[in-house]
Amino acid sequence: MEENNYNYENEGNKINKTKIISNAITLTIAIVLSAIILFCLYIVAKPYFATTLTSNFFTQEQIDRLETAAKIIDNDFLYEYDKEKLVDGAIDGMVNSLDNIYTYYEFEDEYQESSNGGSNDNYVGIGVHLTYDITNKAIKVLGTMPNSPAEQAGVKAGDVILTVDELYVTTDTYLEAVDKIKGEPDTTVKLTILRNGETFELEVKRASIVENNVASEVIDDIGYIRIFSFDNGIYNQFKEEYTKLREKNVKGIIVDLRNNSGGYVADTLNILNLLLPKLDVLKLVDKDGNARVFRTDDTEQIDIPLAVIVNQNSASSSEIFASAIKDSKKGIVIGTKTFGKGVVQYVEPIANHGAISIVAAQYFTPSGVVIQDNGIEPNIVVELPDEIKNNSYIERDQDLQLQEAIKYINSQM
């Protein structure tokens, strides 16, 4: 009986397997027929679904144009190409079309280099503070660092750099030219310079530059502090020199911001905290009208006369500093109208593919002045002769702006 049962069970298994095979064949035929039908539908409907990309920013017509351009390259371009470079180039083109010198795209290698380099206080270069010269579409020297190769070679604030080695400076090559000024120690860079209508060449040897952005001294019992740039630990540098001067019981403070191209706003505000009572010192407004107001905290403030000297090359954070002192009435501003750079840039990384530095907001002074393109008007306007007004260093007996600042401090005693 056991044997019969065994045979019966096996027979039953044969019947079940037959049913499974039959069902599988039926299912396979159905899948094949469905696939054929779907393929036919795709062939018929393909013209109506040629572009299926969607965007919250671009219109369908704009997407179609981008796709068309990509297909032309893919179908007809004779040589091999890198799709990643196509995307990078498209982003670079979009940013360049904004036609704003402070807004630009950094490719990944450039972004990594600038990110890593920005954390160091030293680099190899010639020791200059630079900006873009809108009039000449070139590089403008806003100042040179003390004892730097640039200063020793005769580079002056106000100089316009037209070429760096063989590279002509334009709106498109500005950033490349600035980067080209840096290099290896003991190598040289050749600059074509425009100064007072005359063009000449200077060859400057590169060296390791340790940024020293503050210098101070006592002039006739008055503390004098020169800030060359609001960069690289400037708050601690300033506080150290300011404290030394106060310990010498100076009767007033002069802060010289001439040829200072700006720097970190946070450090600038921290310095203002040492000098001003509790008040609004800056308003930042974005494209949607959202405002952020920055205030000093009133932990301490200056209690002796204060004068700030500026000129046409004082820019960005220098203008924030000067306008806050002027509006607070804790001091006065002396010199000439400032540069007029009052926008803030944010750096937005793009997922391991570089970053966009984009102008995203502008500054307003406490009194409501738009700094961008307007600059800051001094309380007392003092012009210097054209032949010396852009010099990094001016002889004391020729420096009418410094003399006026000394005169002001003495008048407040």
pLDDT of 8-62, one tens digit each? 223 333 334 333 334 443 444 444 334 433 433 334 444 444 445 678 889 999 9
Q: How far apart are alpha carbons 191 and 194 in whole angstroms?
A: 10
pLDDT beyond 70 at 316: yes
This prediction has a pTM of 0.68
Mean pLDDT of the chain: 84
Task: Supply the pLDDT for residue 254.
Answer: 98
Residues 6+ apart with CB under 8 A from 271: 234, 235, 238, 239, 321
Rounded CA-CA distance 134/170 in Å is: 10
Backbone φ and ψ of 131, nearest 5°:
-150, 175
Q: Which of 25-29, 152-156, 261-265, 404-408 has the highest mean pLDDT?
A: 404-408
Is the per-residue pLDDT at 285 higher than 80? yes
Whether the pLDDT of residue 344 is over 90: the answer is: no
Question: Please, which residues have CB within 8 angstroms of residue 107's CB and are 6 or more apart in sequence?
Answer: 88, 92, 354
Interval 161-182: pLDDT, tens: 999 999 999 988 998 999 999 9
- Show the tokens assigned to 18: 């037959």
**1.10.260.40, 2.30.42.10, 2.40.50.140, 1.20.58.220: CATH of 121-209:** 2.30.42.10
pLDDT of residue 1: 33
Cα separation, 382 vs 374, whole angstroms: 18
Picking from 377, 136, 360, 392, the residue whose alpha carbon sits closest to that of residue 261 is: 392
Tell me the residue ranges of DSSP E strands in 169-227: 188-195, 198-205, 207-210, 214-219, 222-227
Q: Is 15 exposed, middle or buried (0-12, 13-18, 19+ CB in 10 A)?
A: exposed
Residue 12: its H or E element: helix 2-45
Condensed to tens digits (0 to 9), the pLDDT of residues 345-393 reads 888 999 888 999 999 999 999 888 899 999 999 999 999 998 888 877 7
**Burial of 376 (C-beta count, 10 Å sphere; 0-12/13-18/19+):** buried
| The two structure tokens encoding residue 370 | 């738009």
**Best CA proximity match to 345, nearest among 106, 141, 145, 157:** 106
Question: Topology of 213-411 in CATH?
Answer: 2-enoyl-CoA Hydratase; Chain A, domain 1 (3.90.226)
Per-residue confidence (pLDDT) for residue 114, from 0 to 100: 66
pLDDT at 276 exceeding the cut of 90: yes
Task: Compute the distance between CA of residue 219 and CA of residue 354 in angstroms, rounded to an integer.
Answer: 49
What residues pair up with 216 in beta bridges, in sequence order?
225
3 state DSSP class of 89: helix
Residue 56 pLDDT: 84
The two structure tokens encoding residue 272: 């203002």
**Looking at residue 115, what is its pLDDT?**
66
